[in-house]
Amino acid sequence: MGARPDTPRLLHVGLVQMRCSPDPAQNLDRALALTREAARQGAEVICLPELFLSPYFCQTEDYAAFRLAEPVPGPTTAAFETLAAELDVAVIVSLFERRAAGLYHNTAAVIDGPRGYVGKYRKMHIPDDPRYYEKFYFTPGDLGFKAFRTDRASLGVLVCWDQWYPEAARLTALQGADVLFYPTAIGWHPEERASHGRQQHEAWELAQRAHAVANGCFVVAVNRTGFEPTPGTDPDAGEGIQFWGQSFVAAPDGQVIARAPVDEEATLVVRLDLNQMEELRTGWPFLRDRRIDAYDRLTQRFLDAD
Q: Does 194 bind a copy of itself (CB under 8 A)?
A: no
Q: How far is the CB of 41 from a copy of itself (least distance, A)?
A: 27
Residue 50 or 81: the one with the smaller Cβ distance to a copy of itself is 50
Report 235-254 residues binding a copy of itself (CB under 8 A): 253-254
Q: Among 25, 64, 101, 292, indicate the residue that binds a copy of itself (CB under 8 A).
A: 292
Q: Does 289 bind a copy of itself (CB under 8 A)?
A: yes
Q: Among 149, 259, 271, 281, indicate the residue that binds a copy of itself (CB under 8 A).
A: 149
Query: Is position 123 annotated as part of the catalytic site?
Result: yes
Query: Is position 58 annotated as part of the catalytic site?
Result: no
- DSSP states of the chain as a string? -PPPPSS--EEEEEEEE-B--S-HHHHHHHHHHHHHHHHHTT-SEEEPPTTTTSS-GGGS--GGGGGG-B-SSSHHHHHHHHHHHHHT-EEEEEEEEEEETTEEEEEEEEEEGGG-EEEEEE------BTTB-HHHH-PPPSS--EEEE-SS-EEEE--GGGGG-HHHHHHHHTTT-SEEEEE---EE-HHHHHHHHHHHHHHHHHHHHHHHHHHTSEEEEE--EEEEEPTTS-GGGT-EEEEE---EEE-TTS-EEEE--SSS-EEEEEEEETHHHHHHHHHS-TGGG--GGG-GGGGSS-----
Q: How far is the CB of 73 from a copy of itself (least distance, A)?
A: 23
Segment contacting a copy of itself by CB under 8 A, of 9-17, 29-37, 70-78, 286-294 = 286-294
Query: Is position 50 annotated as part of the catalytic site?
Result: yes
- Active-site amino acid positions: 50, 123, 160
Q: By the criterion CB under 8 A, which residues form the site for a copy of itself?
A: 1, 124-127, 129, 140, 144-145, 149, 161, 164-168, 170-171, 174-176, 192, 196, 199-200, 202-203, 206-207, 209-211, 213-214, 253-255, 283-287, 289-305
